[in-house]
Structures are given as C-alpha cells and as structure tokens.
Amino acid sequence: MFGFLSENIYRFVDTFWVSRLENGEAGVAAITFFGTMQWMVFSFNSLVGPGSVAVISRRYGEKEYDRTEKAIKETIILKLFFGAILGAAGFLSIRHILTLLGAGGEALQMGVTYGSTMLVGLPVMFATYSIFTGMRSIANPQMAMLLMIGSNLLNLVLDPLFIFGYAGLPAMGIQGAAVASVTSFVITLIVGLYLFYGHRTNVRLRLVGKIPVSLGSMWQIVRIGVPAWLGELSFSGSRLVITPLIAAFGTPVVAAYGVGNQITHFGIMVLVGIGLGLSSLIGHTVGSGKTQRARTVGNMAVWVGVGIMTVFGVATFIFAPQLMRLFFQDPETVSYGVRMLRILAIGFPFLGAFLMMEEIYMGVGLNTPTMIMSIIHGWGFQVVPIYILTQVMGFDQDAIWWAIAGSLALGCTVFYQYYRRGRWLTHKV
C-alpha cells in the first residue's frame, strides 16, 4: 500500500510540475490523452501479471522454492518480451492513436513527445513491476515497498531537474518528465535484480537454477492471465471511446479530467497496493488448503476497501476546490474539475469493494469472472449510457461523471452477488 501510494504521489507531483510549464494546460491534456493510450498498452501487462501472482504465490505457499524461482524468472522474461513488442508498436503508431483520441494542436505534439519516450522504456517498466510482484508473492512486501518508495523518490528528484533544466541540465519540458520516469525504472530494475540474485530475498534467483525455465510453464502463466487481459483490454477500449466524447467539450474539460483522474488514482493506488498484497496472501492461504481462512480474509478485505474509499470520497468531496486550484488558475477549468470530483466521489465506496474482489480472484488464478465484469462494466454500464446522454440527449460533461459513478454502484452490486457464491475457494492452478 505504501509503495503504491508513493508511486501515485509521484504522478501527482509530475502533473503538478507539467502544469507549471508555460503551456501547462496543454501539457496536462497531453498526459491525459497519452494516459488513455497507456492504459490500453498496459492492459497487455495483464497477460503475465495475474498468472505470475497466482503461480509464484501458490508455489511459495506449497514450499516448492525451486519452482518459485523458476516462475519469477519466467515472469521477468515474459515482461521484457511483451514490453519490447508493445513499446515498438506504440512508438510507431502514437501520433495516429492520440489523434483518434481527440488530441490536436499543442496537446497532440506534447503527447507524442512525452509518450514516445515512455514507450521506449516500456520493457524496463514491465520487468520492474515483476520485481515488485515477485517480492510480494514470496512474502517480502517490505522490500518491495522500500524499492518502490526509493524509485519514486528518485522520480521526484529527477522530475524538475529534467523538466526545467536545473543543476546545469538542459530544459527538456514535458519530455523531461518521461526521461525521469524511464531513468528511475532502469535503476530500480538493476537494484531489484541485485537483491534477488544477491540472496537478499526469501527465494534466491540463480543464473542456472535447479529447474530450467520452459516455454510450457511460461504459457501456463500467460494462459491464466488471458481472461484478465481481455477484461483489461475491453475496459481500456471503453476508455478509448469515452475520451473523445470528453474531448468534444474542449481542452479545459480534458485537462480537468486528467487532474481529476490523478486525484482519483491516489485512492485507487492505495487499494491496488493492499490488493496486490491481498492476492499473494489469498494465493498462499488457498495453496495451503485453508479455505475458510481465505474466505475470512477476502470478506475483511472487501470491507476494508469500502471503508478506505468512503473516507477518501468524503475528503475529495470537501476539498475538491483546493485540490483543483493546485493545478489551474482559470475558474472555468477549476469548476469543471470540482464538479467531476464531487460526482465521482459518490461512487468511491463501490469502487473500493470492486477492486478488492478483483484482487481476490487474481490471487487464486480465476480471472474469467473479472473479465466478464470488466466487459459489462466498461461497455454496458459506461459507454452506452454516456453516448446516449451526451450524443443523443445533448447533456453536458457532467452526465459523463454521473454515468461513471452509477456504473460503479451497479457493477459492484452484480460482482458481489457472484463473489458470495465462493467458487474461487476451490479453483486449482
């Protein structure tokens, strides 16, 4: 939780520094547009991520340490492979994709500049996330936390240096934010590999392990992740449709939407951090045959998610004006952001429960229910109502935020009814 919280603080500060550029509103819009594309690209991370959590944590819970080492190595190899392919494809098509999303003029050019650098570093980013996953899955969450915090502190230091050209460095503008990110990921990956191979973790990696890596077991990891990937891909696709609908209301609305997303993700990242620890714990517990304990842990986690996001929602509703004024001086842009945050805050408690249930299913390697819910939630509960409200009935951008908040409540209710059936407790990997 603290590791992911530090990561979102960095993103928050990153957006803050970019908003201080001379063309800051366009810069924030550019990051927002690329963020939608990045969401699509990062959905492919789910081809490996959920399967790696399930396999590594299960093998560790079963005390099969040689097979645990093998799974960690295979995860890193897969992430480097997929990261390289997706990074190259994204680099070649970024201008067309951002244009399709509604970016134009200065926001488009800044988005291409920022995004191209981020995509070059994609293989390293993917592999670094697997370092964190591996550490959590073998009961070294404190080490993962410290590594994530260190990585993001480095980002915080490098950000203004590269963006504004302090300490004798050239001023790179928005590209400096991307260079700072990629640099910190490279250093973090090197340190993480040193910890794994230097016998600092509960499971040590060796250049030549007792059980060699194999394509067959790599496929098992990918196969487990396919439903989660399809769910992420579907939900990301819905973002690709929704973003141009938002962009139709103008750059100030897009900029406010981008900052609002950053603030919302502050709470989400806390839950993602808890959830990733939860998924490993669920994997350990189910792997050791303690199904009743797993059910208790899962139920507690759902209520923790609701409680955290209720508090976060209340705070966001109250302090929405102050938060938006950190980034914008234009009263109109601030007003757009305040209304967005206050409407979305109503749905935060439902989001908390939904995210916890997703992590529970990921921990046992049962990702098909999550895939189905992502498709229904993203398209049936969001895209269709948003399109009807804005394009057919002519409502303004506030209708988009109301549709998203309503979809969170409805999607959570449906998912929870399925979760209570407990099928996940007997799933085999």
Helix and strand tally (H, E) in the chain?
16, 0
Q: How confident is the model at residue 68 (pLDDT cuts 50, 70, 90)?
A: very high
309 or 13, which is more confident: 309
Nearest 5°: the CA angle 385, 33, 149 is 110
Residue 366's nearest CA partner among 415, 425, 292 is 425
* pLDDT value of residue 289: 77
Over its C-alpha atoms, the chain yields an Rg (Å, rounded) of 21
Instruction: Band the pLDDT of 322: cuts 50, 70, 90.
Output: very high
Q: What is the DSSP string of 319-373?
A: HHHHHHHTT---HHHHHHHHHHHHHHHTTHHHHHHHHHHHHHHHHTT--HHHHHH
Count other Cβ atoms within 10 Å, centred on residue 94.
22
Angle in degrees, CA 408, 410, 415, rounded to 5: 90
Q: How confident is the model at residue 358 (pLDDT cuts 50, 70, 90)?
A: confident
The answer to whether the Cα torsion of 15, 91, 192, 178 is positive or negative is: negative
pLDDT interval class at 10 (50, 70, 90): low
pLDDT digits (tens, 9 = 90+) for 17-58: 888 888 877 888 888 888 878 877 877 777 787 778 878 888
Q: What is the pLDDT of residue 1?
A: 62
- Any idea what the Cα angle at residue 310 is, between residues 1 and 274, rounded to 5°? 15
d(CA 93, CA 240): 15
Q: How far is the C-alpha of 74 from the C-alpha of 370, rounded, in Å?
A: 24
CA 43-396-234 angle, 5° bins = 15
Per-range mean pLDDT, top range of 8-17, 163-172, 314-323: 314-323
The terminus-to-terminus CA distance of the chain in angstroms comes to 26
Residue 17 class from Cβ within 10 Å (0-12 exposed, 13-18 middle, 19+ buried)? buried
Query: What does the angle CA 44 – CA 45 – CA 50 come to, to the nearest 5 degrees?
Result: 115
Q: How many CA atoms lie within 13 A of 101 on its CB side?
A: 32
Count of CB atoms situated within 10 Å of the CB of 405: 19
Residue 310 has pLDDT above 90, yes or no: yes
Within a 13 Å sphere around the CA of 20, how many CA atoms are in the beta-carbon half?
A: 12
pLDDT band for position 236 (cuts 50, 70, 90):
confident
**Stronger pLDDT, 60 or 120, i.e. the higher one:** 120
pLDDT value at position 267? 81
> Which of 354-370 are b and which e, b meaning 16 or more Cβ less than 10 Å from the residue's Cβ?
bbbbbbbbbbbbbbebb
Residue 188 pLDDT > 80: yes
d(CA 276, CA 262): 20
Residue whose tokens read 């759902």: 302
Residue 73's pLDDT is 94
Question: Are the C-beta atoms of 175 and 182 separated by less than 8 Å?
Answer: no
Matching residue, tokens 């960690």? 72
The per-residue pLDDT for range 142-180, each reduced to its tens digit, is: 898 899 889 888 988 998 999 998 888 889 999 998 999
Query: H-type helices in 43-140, by residue range?
Result: 49-61, 65-100, 105-120, 122-137
Q: Residue 142: CB partners within 8 Å, gap ≥ 6?
A: none
Q: Kind and range of the H or E element at 396?
A: none
> What pLDDT sits at residue 11?
65
CB count within 10 Å of CB 93 equals: 13
Q: How far is CA 233 from the centre of its chain?
A: 13
**Which of the residue ranges 37-46, 75-84, 99-108, 396-405 would you say has the lowest mean pLDDT?**
37-46
Nearest CA to 341 out of 329, 354, 324 is that of 324
Q: Which H/E stretch holds residue 198?
A: none
Long-range pairs, 252-255, Cβ under 8 A, ≥24 = 252/25, 252/330, 252/332, 252/333, 252/336, 253/336, 253/397, 254/29, 254/32, 254/33, 254/102, 254/107, 255/25, 255/26, 255/28, 255/29, 255/32, 255/328, 255/333
Q: Which pair of structure tokens corresponds to residue 381?
A: 């509960």
Tokens of 68: 């645990």
